[in-house]
A and B are shown apart, each in its own frame.
Chain A
Amino acid sequence: MSNSRIRKGRRGRVSAAVASLAVAGLVLTACSSGDGDDTASDSQDSTESSETQEEAADDSAAEESTTEESGGMGDMCGDDTIRIGISLPLTGDFSQPGQEAQRGYDVWAELTNNAGGLLGRPVELVVLDDASSQEQVVTDYNNLISQEKVPLLLGTFSSLLNFPASTVAENNEMVLIAPAGGSPKIFEPEPKFYFFAQQATAPDQANPFVNMIASLPDDQKPKTAAYVSMDDPFALPVIESMQEQLEAAGVETVYTGIYPEGTTNLQPQAAAIAAQEPDLIAQGSVFEDGISLAKSMVQIGYSPDFMFQTTAPSFGAQYVEGVGEGNENGVFFAVSWSEKAPTEGNAEFVAEYQAQNGEGLVPSEDSANAYVAAEVLQTAVEAVGDCDNLAIADWLRANSVDTILGELSWDDIGRPQGDFLLAQWQNGTVEIVAPEVATTNGGELIVPKPGWQ
């Protein structure tokens, strides 16, 4: 009898614990989903930022003397090996792109060391796992600066993680070059040490597609459009910018929807969109949501004339497998890098990636972007001749860097000043169709999109 009562009591406590977990889940979900108003997420971000700034301010004070001690003129890189601190989401929600980014960094380190190192010294990457957590990424960069005492940093993956990371870097006056993290929110505090190592920030990702639409003959242009996006700091601004530009160009909006981060089932949205029969569907997707919308459209049997998705189609074979072979044909997406690009060093990057990870394996865009972030840091350090982060930041604002993405340059707050590439899946391969200088197939388009297979 008494054992039974103990057992029942335990059950009560477990029930309470799990109920608490569920309630905590509700609070977290509500916080992350917000209500479509940027103010909500801004206030969340600013709360985290202010906490981060307080934490980092303490570290900063301690670090100031450390930097001065270790940083005599011309020797701020340390004694021998140059250690570069990186936090990456190697586990958790962003582990897929996080591990790809690590591959890109590893390729750069290998090629750099084989070519004599940085400033003639070997480089070593000090990589910490932030487990896809905004709290952990702050801890990681503070540890890299205050415990590991690395003289240089490289960015993590995604706007969500680079935003808090940038506040740590800013407070410690250390340059943070990010391979992913083009959300406009990151640039609102007008950072001085944060640089985004792609061609353009998120809202400008829409431009090549909008320009392509504008270039079409009138009878081929879409008349109506549906816009749907994950509430993601990178994906959403792309779709919002596209909607604004296409509405200004006379394309009528027939559906707008924003769904919370983590949504993987878009069948209901697909039904709602298909009911409006839009000529164009634009989706701010990450991956699973992009697959779900395309698959659901196939199942419902509605094929738009134009389909644009962020990120998901850039996953190559994983995207094709996910939507079903043939259904990728005609889908547009903005992309920063192509393995076919004739840019300087691109072939070497691809070859070393394959040497490290498997012959025939095509590097992902995330790997390429991480490689580029390191390339940018390398160029700036070599130009400055030291690991002086103030000088590196000044140099980056005043100069451009040749990378495997092409030439990159930044404004005063680290926003890149270039244009993304517009890619389209064409008969099983990805072709760059705009801008003209970067096309891989002479700029030929598949318009309208072929029906689903």
Chain B
Amino acid sequence: MDLLQVIAFGVLLGGVYALLASGVTLIFGVLDVVNVAQGSFLVFSALFTWQIWSLLGLEPLLLVPVMGLLMFVIGWAIYRGLLVRVAPQGPGMTVLLMFGVAIAMEGVLNIVFGNEFKSVTPPYFTSSFKIGEIVIPYPQMISGVLAVVVLGGIYVYLRKSWAGRALRASAQNKDGAALVGISATKASSLAFGIGAMTAGVGGVLLAIMYPVYPATQYDWIARLLGIIVLGGMGSIPGAIIASMLLGISESIASAYVPQWAPVFFYGAILVILLFRPHGLLGEKTREDVAA
């Protein structure tokens, strides 16, 4: 078997992981909140995509901006309605709150959509093209391109726009940002909304690539947490690198030693954390430096 083919599958898978993980790490970077509900956001978006696609027969990719916007609004509302009240209690409480949100969303989705697998199947969902001898499935290719577009957009937004700079300033020093007129609450709700938006976009792609049902969230949140820990919590470039590592290592291991596939990734996390306790691109905290 051609190793290049396996690596190509890994890179495409890594692109999908990068898109899905970027929202979790962005939210942590700005809010110090581990959003364990990101998996349920993804499934929410995927199931709504399925519903609209099956009712109207729309091209599912047209729903990318719709679901992105919808999830932004939902994320923003969750921050303003729930998180902002619990955040002062510390990270433990926010994790518990988001667990609650995840479980509640799973229950609602279960009632609304039933506990059955749903797949969005546009004409290209089993199609592929070849570059030389390497097969590139269209859904994965589209996901990879969209991941680049969305992540690139977030990067430019954070670097170039006033709101993005305000958001980064608030992430670095809330008090300092407040002194120059940046509202921490506004910056945080914007960050949470953007993080949820990536789940909205990712959910559309998820529905095209994999069958989805409400409990699918558990499969995804475990992977996403592993990625952001490896990449360095709060670091979007770190999450992208970790996603590629996971995608490629998972793909190679799956092809040659499938039973060991998860051990490759989680083993890599252990080894890397031994030498870089804050992940690949994570920042050292002041307490760590003092210690």
Task: Tell me, rounded to whole Å, the shortest Cβ–Cβ distance linking B187 to chain A.
Answer: 14
User: Of residues 43 to 84 in A, which have CB atoms within 8 Å of B's CB atoms?
Assistant: none
Candidates A96, A268, A301; contact of B117 at CB < 8 Å: A96
Which of A140-148, A321-329, A381-389, A414-422 makes up part of the contact surface? A321-329
Candidates B127, B222, B286; contact of A25 at CB < 8 Å: B222
Complex interface bits, B22-49 against A, C-beta within 8 A gives 1, otherwise 0: 0000001000101000000000000000
Candidates B32, B210, B256, B278; contact of A292 at CB < 8 Å: B210
Residue from B140, B250, B254 with most neighbouring chain A CB atoms (10 Å): B254
User: Of residues 57 to 113 in B, which have CB atoms within 8 Å of A's CB atoms?
Assistant: 90-92, 95, 106, 110
Known interface pairs A260-B259, A262-B219, A327-B126; A299-B213 also in contact (CB < 8 Å): no
Please report the C-alpha to C-alpha distance between residue A337 and residue B260 in the assembled complex, in whole angstroms: 35
Which of B146-154, B158-166, B193-201, B264-272 makes up part of the contact surface? B264-272
User: Of residues 94 to 153 in A, which have CB atoms within 8 Å of B's CB atoms?
Assistant: 95-96, 99
Residue from B5, B210, B211, B228 with most neighbouring chain A CB atoms (10 Å): B211
Please report the C-alpha to C-alpha distance between residue A4 and residue B176 in the assembled complex, in whole angstroms: 9
Interface check B13, CB cutoff 8 A? yes
Q: How large is the interface on A (under 10, 10 to 19, 20 to 34, 35 or more residues)?
A: 35 or more
User: Of residues 261 to 303 in A, which have CB atoms within 8 Å of B's CB atoms?
Assistant: 262-269, 271-272, 275, 287-288, 291-292, 295-296, 298-301
The answer on a CB contact under 8 Å between B126 and A14 is: no
Q: Which residues of A contact B1 (CB under 8 A)?
A: 271-272, 275
Classify the interface of chain B: helix, strand, loop or mixed.
Answer: helix
Task: Tell me, rounded to whole Å, the shortest Cβ–Cβ distance linking B277 to chain A.
Answer: 8
Interface check A424, CB cutoff 8 A? no
Task: Tell me, rounded to whole Å, the shortest Cβ–Cβ distance linking B232 to chain A.
Answer: 9
Task: Tell me, rounded to whole Å, the shortest Cβ–Cβ distance linking A376 to chain B.
Answer: 25
The answer on a CB contact under 8 Å between A7 and B174 is: yes
Candidates B213, B225, B260; contact of A21 at CB < 8 Å: B225
Which chain A residue shows the least CB distance to B251? A268
Please report the C-alpha to C-alpha distance between residue A272 and residue B126 in the assembled complex, in whole angstroms: 18
Interface check A340, CB cutoff 8 A? no
Known interface pairs A14-B34, A271-B1, A271-B5; A93-B285 also in contact (CB < 8 Å): no
Please report the C-alpha to C-alpha distance between residue A373 and residue B270 in the assembled complex, in whole angstroms: 45
Q: Which residues of B contact A99 (CB under 8 A)?
A: 115
Interface check A204, CB cutoff 8 A? no
Q: Which residues of B contact A325 (CB under 8 A)?
A: 121
Residue from B6, B251, B266 with most neighbouring chain A CB atoms (10 Å): B266
Known interface pairs A11-B32, A95-B215, A99-B115; A22-B225 also in contact (CB < 8 Å): yes
Interface check A19, CB cutoff 8 A? yes
The answer on a CB contact under 8 Å between A287 and B259 is: no
Which chain B residue shows the least CB distance to A318? B117
User: Of residues 212 to 238 in B, which have CB atoms within 8 Å of A's CB atoms?
Assistant: 213-215, 218-219, 222, 225-226, 228-230, 233-234
Interface check A30, CB cutoff 8 A? yes
Interface check A12, CB cutoff 8 A? yes
Task: Tell me, rounded to whole Å, the shortest Cβ–Cβ distance linking B269 to chain A.
Answer: 6
Known interface pairs A11-B32, A96-B213; A288-B117 also in contact (CB < 8 Å): yes
Complex interface bits, A220-247 against B, C-beta within 8 A gives 1, otherwise 0: 0000000010010000000000000000
Task: Tell me, rounded to whole Å, the shortest Cβ–Cβ distance linking A287 to chain B.
Answer: 6
The answer on a CB contact under 8 Å between B262 and A260 is: yes
Complex interface bits, B156-198 against A, C-beta within 8 A gives 1, otherwise 0: 0000000000000000011110000000000000000000000
Interface check A91, CB cutoff 8 A? yes
Q: How large is the interface on B (under 10, 10 to 19, 20 to 34, 35 or more residues)?
A: 35 or more
Interface check A15, CB cutoff 8 A? yes
Interface check B144, CB cutoff 8 A? no
The answer on a CB contact under 8 Å between A322 and B218 is: no
Candidates A3, A300, A323; contact of B135 at CB < 8 Å: A300
The answer on a CB contact under 8 Å between A266 and B126 is: no
Classify the interface of chain A: helix, strand, loop or mixed.
Answer: helix
Interface check A315, CB cutoff 8 A? yes
Q: Which residues of A contact B250 (CB under 8 A)?
A: 265, 268
Q: Which residues of B contact A451 (CB under 8 A)?
A: none
Please report the C-alpha to C-alpha distance between residue A21 and residue B270 in the assembled complex, in whole angstroms: 12
Interface check A9, CB cutoff 8 A? yes
Task: Tell me, rounded to whole Å, the shortest Cβ–Cβ distance linking B42 to chain A.
Answer: 13
The answer on a CB contact under 8 Å between B226 and A299 is: no
Q: Which residues of B contact A324 (CB under 8 A)?
A: 121, 125-126
Interface check B261, CB cutoff 8 A? yes
Known interface pairs A3-B175, A19-B273; A92-B215 also in contact (CB < 8 Å): yes
Which chain B residue shows the least CB distance to A287? B117
Q: Which residues of B contact A267 (CB under 8 A)?
A: 9, 13, 137, 140, 251, 254
Which chain B residue shows the least CB distance to A93? B215
The answer on a CB contact under 8 Å between A18 and B225 is: yes
The answer on a CB contact under 8 Å between A265 and B215 is: no
The answer on a CB contact under 8 Å between B263 and A318 is: no
Q: Which residues of B contact A300 (CB under 8 A)?
A: 128, 135
Task: Tell me, rounded to whole Å, the shortest Cβ–Cβ distance linking B66 to chain A.
Answer: 22
Please report the C-alpha to C-alpha distance between residue A10 and residue B286 in the assembled complex, in whole angstroms: 11
Which chain A residue shows the least CB distance to B90? A10
The answer on a CB contact under 8 Å between A9 and B285 is: yes
Which chain A residue shows the least CB distance to B6? A268
The answer on a CB contact under 8 Å between B259 and A11 is: no
Task: Tell me, rounded to whole Å, the shortest Cβ–Cβ distance linking B29 to chain A.
Answer: 9
Task: Tell me, rounded to whole Å, the shortest Cβ–Cβ distance linking B235 to chain A.
Answer: 11
Interface check A342, CB cutoff 8 A? no
Please report the C-alpha to C-alpha distance between residue A14 and residue B140 in the assembled complex, in whole angstroms: 33
Q: Which residues of A contact B125 (CB under 8 A)?
A: 295, 324
Interface check A249, CB cutoff 8 A? no
Interface check A452, CB cutoff 8 A? yes
The answer on a CB contact under 8 Å between A4 and B175 is: yes
The answer on a CB contact under 8 Å between A268 and B255 is: yes
Interface check A442, CB cutoff 8 A? no
Please report the C-alpha to C-alpha distance between residue A272 and residue B174 in the assembled complex, in whole angstroms: 52
Please report the C-alpha to C-alpha distance between residue A9 and residue B135 in the assembled complex, in whole angstroms: 47
Please report the C-alpha to C-alpha distance between residue A73 and residue B242 in the assembled complex, in whole angstroms: 66
Interface check A216, CB cutoff 8 A? no
Residue from B91, B92, B273 with most neighbouring chain A CB atoms (10 Å): B91
Known interface pairs A3-B174, A12-B285, A36-B259; A295-B266 also in contact (CB < 8 Å): no
A-B contact pairs, 10 of them (CB 8 A): A15-B278, A18-B34, A96-B116, A99-B115, A258-B258, A259-B261, A265-B210, A271-B135, A287-B211, A315-B117
Given contacts A35-B259, A36-B259, A259-B258, 9 further A-B contacts (CB under 8 A): A3-B175, A4-B174, A34-B259, A99-B115, A258-B258, A265-B250, A271-B1, A272-B256, A318-B116
Task: Rank and list the top 9 A-B pairs by shortest CB-CB distance, nearest first.
Answer: A26-B266, A268-B255, A268-B254, A259-B258, A275-B1, A299-B128, A298-B126, A29-B262, A14-B91
